Amino acid sequence: MCFSATASFTAGTALSSVGGLTLRKSRGKLELPIALVSLLFGIQQFTEGFLWLSLRNDLPLVKTWATYIYSMFSHVLWPIFVPFAILLVETGRRRRTAISVFLALGLGVGLYLLYFIVRFPVTARIYGRTIFYDSPHLFIGGVLVVYLLATCVSGLFSSHRCVNVFGVLAFVLAIAAYEVSVKTFVSVWCFFAAVLSLLVYVHFSGPMQACRPALKRPREQAA
């Protein structure tokens, strides 16, 4: 998170707790990936908490591990996992076809960024009250555009309102984080997205349950 180790650990604890509750509300294998979103964001925030500690206390080995684990979440996992999770809980044929395109884009950009993470080491340092991840390849050409298409715009094609809201807000907050500072974009936007992941719990709770798909997907159901 963009404030301190304490803030990151607090966010990680809250997200992990909500993630555990969300998992208990999920039903069947199709809902498992989307139910894992908050828990995964919690682990990512814990990782940044350890990175804060390593930067403050000059722990190079912890710093290296934490930087790479965090980057694997932010650069590789999310552009692939988000459209994949959305696709699994979608029942409409046309919507599934559209989301599959975003999954292909996410897979491409995720593997592209994975290559550069391995080929050119990612570094992290404290920048003001946040952490600056030096990963310029995320901002080359249309890479960031494809990344946002996979992680945000894919949600707009879902038939579930909470997923739609997540996609819209994540996109708006990504633009806001980028406009504030390119250097702090990765840390700040990932925190915003982590908080937004609480919408997944809402998706599984209360009146929103009526929007959840049946466990058996109709073969001929249209969008």
Render pLDDT for 131-147 as a digit per residue (tens, 0 to 9).
888 877 776 778 889 99
Q: How far is CA 106 from CA 64, 68, 75, 123, in A?
A: 25, 19, 10, 23
Question: Which pLDDT belongs to residue 2?
Answer: 54
* Contact criterion met (CB below 8 Å) for 131 and 181: no
Q: How far is CA 160 from CA 83, 101, 165, 169, 213, in A?
A: 13, 18, 9, 15, 9
- 222 - beta bridge partners? none
Kindly state whether residue 199 falls inside one of the protein's structural domains: yes
Parent domain of 194: 5-211
Kindly state whether residue 216 falls inside one of the protein's structural domains: no
Kindly state whether residue 223 falls inside one of the protein's structural domains: no
Q: In terms of DSSP H, where are the helices of 26-59?
A: 32-35, 37-57
Kindly state whether residue 221 falls inside one of the protein's structural domains: no
Kindly state whether residue 217 falls inside one of the protein's structural domains: no
Give me the residues of the chain with pLDDT under 70, please: 1-3, 139, 206-223
- Residues 54-97 have pLDDT tens digits of 999 989 999 999 999 999 999 999 999 999 999 998 988 999 99
Q: How many domains does the chain have?
A: 1
Kindly state whether residue 218 falls inside one of the protein's structural domains: no
Question: Which pLDDT belongs to residue 185?
Answer: 78
Question: Which pLDDT belongs to residue 201?
Answer: 78
